[in-house]
Structure 1
Amino acid sequence: MLLVALLVLGGLGFWMQQKAEKKRVDEELAQAQGIVRVLSATFSNKAALKVGEVKGTLDVTTVDNGALPILRSSQKATIPYSVGYTLDLSGLGADDYRWDQQNRILTIRVPIVTPEAPNVDEANRSVAGTSGVFVTRNASVNLQRRASQLATAKAGEVAAEPANLARAQANAEKVVAGLARAPLDAAGLGPLTVRVVTPASGTPSTERWDVSRSIEQVLAERQQAR
């Protein structure tokens, strides 16, 4: 009888342990699903989230050859410009989130930032000088138009410089982490760390990004294994 009682107690203890473990995994899965729902709702309308800007002035020199050599003219101008950087978060899905329940770290994978079309401030253009024997009205219009085109092209090149893109990416990490934390705190998920991964920041050397499984899939597999 004692042996039977011990076996029954052992079986009951094992059953209760399994039940508790299943409950814990269910809670983890529910929390992961809750995180995905909250963040999906937060980011769904963020198709053009502004995460940075580069601006300054550009000195450009333009030339209008005219119909005759005597009509050749040139102009030097300084033109202010600005280029914004945007991040499209509307396409984020469950595969872009990783939830480390043990360490309570949420990792969000976001796309690279995209420079917007350069904005050239024609109203604040300053002309350093115009040269030419005869500067016709048509030549003046051409010089101004070419200066604008040249400044726009140069502004695009500045925005595409690696250092400027890196700064925009770094700022994107801060912006996304801030956007994510607010609704997660409001949802009562407790203390957690939000880490944003971009192509610029990469992942820690000890971690390989697993693109095959989302947080929901990982927990679902663990649940099925029980």
Structure 2
Amino acid sequence: MKRYWPLLLLALAVIGGAVWWNARQAEERRVEEELAQAQGIVRVLSATFSNKAALKVGEVKGTLDVTVVDPGAISLLRSSQKATLPYSVGYTLDLSQVGADDYRWDPASRALTIRVPLVTPEPPNVDEANRAVSGTSGIFVTRNASTNLARRASQLATAKAGEVAAEPANLAAAQKNAEKVVADLARAPLDAAGLGPITVRVVTPAAGVRDGERWDVSRSIEQVLADRQR
């Protein structure tokens, strides 16, 4: 019986080697499939986002009360005016800045994370056609003074509208809406590509820690899967 031990050990080694080899081949095939799937996702979304340099993702609007003064050529011609002007400021997101390094794909949970830039306010739009004047004062308001008052009211309202749009609460609301807009925008081409159910999460570089996971900015989808493949 002892003389058969070497043959038995050899057979076990061959079987073990075959099992290991098959497992390694299966793992390599799985990684290749993941890589191909991830690359496909990047291609699909890159094509979708490439031409969206000014995706509108929100708006803040309202009315502003302003008081302006025209000094006039002499003190007797000094005049002032109170006016209310409607305004609106849109927020846009430049998706053309999203590159391959801004995607993270988790094949286990079929979750895609997309990193997008911060939203930016558009130039304020002041509706001068619907300007309401609540009062004008001055001994004699010339036509030139009226023009100057209207121009200064528009300039002041524009500046104030920009300040409103830059308020942290308004920026945060626009950014939150941007995440929803981008997630919805991403799902359509992914569904059309037949990639199956995918969970899409959108974050910004400033998101930090979310849902207990730290955003890894060091490696892209392709780099992670290529490292695993090697």
TM-score exceeds 0.5 = yes
- Within 2, Cα distance between the matches of 1:54 and 1:216? 39
Partner residue, 2:80: 74
Structure 1 residue 2: Cα displacement: 3.8
| SS of 2:53 mapped into structure 1 | coil
Letter in 2 for 1:10: G
Query: Deviations along 1:166-214, whole A, 9 cap, x unmatched?
Result: 0000000000000111111111111121000025654316322211100
Partner residue, 1:207: 213
- 1:167 and 2:152 correspond: no
Contact 1:105/1:195, CA 8 A, preserved across alignment: yes
Residue in structure 1 matching 2:23, options 17, 24, 31: 17
- Within 2, Cα distance between the matches of 1:203 and 1:55? 32
Partner residue, 1:156: 162
- 1:112 and 2:112 correspond: no
Structure 1 residue 10: Cα displacement: 2.0
Q: Report how many aligned residue pairs link the two structures.
A: 224
The TM-score, its normalising length taken from structure 1, stands at 0.95
- 1:143 and 2:149 correspond: yes
Letter in 2 for 1:15: W
The TM-score, its normalising length taken from structure 2, stands at 0.94
- Select between 161-170 and 185-194 the one with higher mean Cα deviation: 185-194
Residue in structure 2 matching 1:57, options 63, 77, 81: 63
Letter in 1 for 2:130: N
Contact 1:29/1:220, CA 8 A, preserved across alignment: yes
Partner residue, 1:180: 186
Q: Which runs of 5+ in 1 are unaligned?
A: none
- Within 1, Cα distance between the matches of 2:104 and 2:59? 29
- Within 2, Cα distance between the matches of 1:202 and 1:110? 13
- Within 2, Cα distance between the matches of 1:93 and 1:73? 55
Letter in 2 for 1:169: Q
Rg bigger for which structure? 2
| SS of 1:129 mapped into structure 2 | strand
- 1:26 and 2:18 correspond: no
Query: Deviations along 1:89-139, whole A, 9 cap, x unmatched?
Result: 102111100111111111100000000000000111111111111000110
Structure 1 residue 7: Cα displacement: 2.6
- Select between 3-12 and 177-186 the one with higher mean Cα deviation: 3-12
Residue in structure 2 matching 1:127, options 122, 129, 133: 133
- Within 2, Cα distance between the matches of 1:199 and 1:11? 46
- Within 1, Cα distance between the matches of 2:165 and 2:97? 24
